[in-house]
Amino acid sequence: MSLGRPRNHGCRISDEWTFKGLRALILENELLRVVVLVDKGSDIIEFRYKSLDLDFLLLTPGGVRNPAQNQPSIYTQSPFSDYYSGGWNDILPNGGPPAIYQGVEFGQHGEISLLAWEYSLLEDNPERVSVRLWVRALHTPFFVEKILTLESGKPVLRIEETVTNEGDQPLHLMWGQHIAFSREFLKEGAVIDIPARELCQ
């Protein structure tokens, strides 16, 4: 069933696409085009500023590989690396090299980055589109959900994301946003402003 109402102006969203056999969402307004691979970690593989035809994200020379259609290497403990295509990836519950936590082995960059996510439309009109995506980790009791929103006339993708521990004991985690920028963007004069802050609870 298609998400968005047929529209070629203002904000719009479509789930009628697949890429390399993976379900894809496309969110657009007058300024941005955002492509999300629902079946591969909800990776954002295109973040394009239309007026300059500039995609801010790197796509590796090997392109996107579908975990359901390609076997990982037998020589690695890192399926993430075998299927890495650049873009913008959610990383949880660990970053960096493979790790063991409470007796459970995790490959590089955790377990949610290769899982298929679910989604539902929240809003769809020319002024604003918004979609909710969610996934449950396999080896940890973490539930991850995020809302992606575009508004008309604004070159901004708003992301609201939460992680919930649905288990009965506290767990440590590392939750990261793994973003690879394109060469076309990373030129002299480019500015990346991240208003990072530390939250302690």
CATH number at residue 28: 2.70.98.10
**Residue 4 falls within a domain, yes or no?**
no
Cis peptide bond upstream of 61, omega within 30: no
**Residue 7 falls within a domain, yes or no?**
no
**Residue 50 falls within a domain, yes or no?**
yes
pLDDT in tens, 71-96: 665 556 677 888 889 999 999 998 88
**What is the predicted pLDDT for the residue at 1?**
39
Q: Is 62 exposed, middle or buried (0-12, 13-18, 19+ CB in 10 A)?
A: exposed
pLDDT in tens, 146-184: 999 999 999 999 999 999 999 999 999 998 899 999 999
Residue 84 neighbours by CB under 8 Å, 6+ apart: 60
**Residue 127 falls within a domain, yes or no?**
yes
Higher pLDDT, 58 or 78: 58
**What is the predicted pLDDT for the residue at 77?**
66
pLDDT in tens, 88-145: 999 999 888 888 888 888 888 888 998 999 999 999 999 999 999 999 998 899 999 9
Most confident of 2-16, 36-50, 83-97: 36-50
**What is the predicted pLDDT for the residue at 199?**
63
Q: How far apart are CA 4 and CA 42, in angstroms?
A: 18
**Residue 201 falls within a domain, yes or no?**
no
Q: How many domains does the chain have?
A: 1
Q: How far apart are CA 193 and CA 136, in angstroms?
A: 31
**What is the predicted pLDDT for the residue at 155?**
96
Average pLDDT, the chain: 89
Facing residues of 161 across strands? 146
User: By three-state DSSP, how is residue 118 classified?
Assistant: strand
Q: What domain range is 32 assigned to?
A: 12-179
**What is the predicted pLDDT for the residue at 3?**
59
Does the pTM surpass 0.85? The reply is: yes
**Residue 200 falls within a domain, yes or no?**
no
**What is the predicted pLDDT for the residue at 74?**
55
**Residue 22 falls within a domain, yes or no?**
yes
